[in-house]
Amino acid sequence: MPKVDLSKIPVKTGSSYPGHRAALVGDRSQQAVGKAGGITQFGANLVRLPPGALSSLRHWHEQQDEMLIVTEGEATLIDDHGETLMRPGDIAAFPAGDTNGHHLVNKSDADVVFFVVGTHTDTEVGYYSDEDMMVRIDASGYHFTKKDGSALD
């Protein structure tokens, strides 16, 4: 049956960011709904942000498109253009290669839930707008460095 049962999908809390950066995301949690449904050509996640949590550090992707829709609560989209309030039904799109670093922040007193989809590629490079950090993704995982490729502190 194509219906995905959310109660059977593990909830992953936190971040894969190195060092102190992981704590910046707070108690963000996500469920890999696309993977659970057998989807392989794009990622699809249901993400929950408790009050004060970030969806990620502000970032952009070289090769991967990303799009989200808010389903519950009120989030603040922060990008290079400033801040935009996002409510249920609001959609944001981030084309691959667009250097407009973005993330959502929950500045409210209630949880925010959003559904995000993005391209799967064999490799990827992402950049973090407010940190001297980039990530290279390949078959062996995530590799975080400074933007010049040197080791992080």
CATH number for the domain including 45? 2.60.120.10
pLDDT at position 136: 96
pLDDT at 97: 98
- Assess if residue 5 is contained within a domain: no
Domain with 31 in it: 12-125
| Tally of domains within the chain | 1
Question: How much is the pLDDT for 12?
Answer: 96
Q: Is residue 16 part of a domain?
A: yes
Provide the pLDDT for residue 71. Answer: 98
pLDDT in 10s for each residue of the chain, 153 residues: 689 999 999 999 999 999 889 998 989 999 999 999 999 999 999 999 999 999 999 999 999 999 999 999 999 999 999 999 999 999 999 999 999 999 999 999 999 999 999 999 999 999 999 999 999 999 999 999 999 999 997
CA 148 vs. chain centroid, Å, equals 23
Residue 134 in any domain: the answer is no
pLDDT at residue number 153: 78
Q: Could you tell me if residue 146 is inside a domain?
A: no
pLDDT at site 2: 87
Report yes or no on 131 lying in a domain. Answer: no
**7 inside domain:** no
Residue 137 lies in a domain: no
Q: Could you give the CA distance from residue 28 to residue 49 in angstroms, rounded to a whole number?
A: 5
- Does 27 map to a domain? yes
CA distances (Å), 28 to each of 51, 96, 97, 123, 145, in order? 9, 24, 25, 25, 23
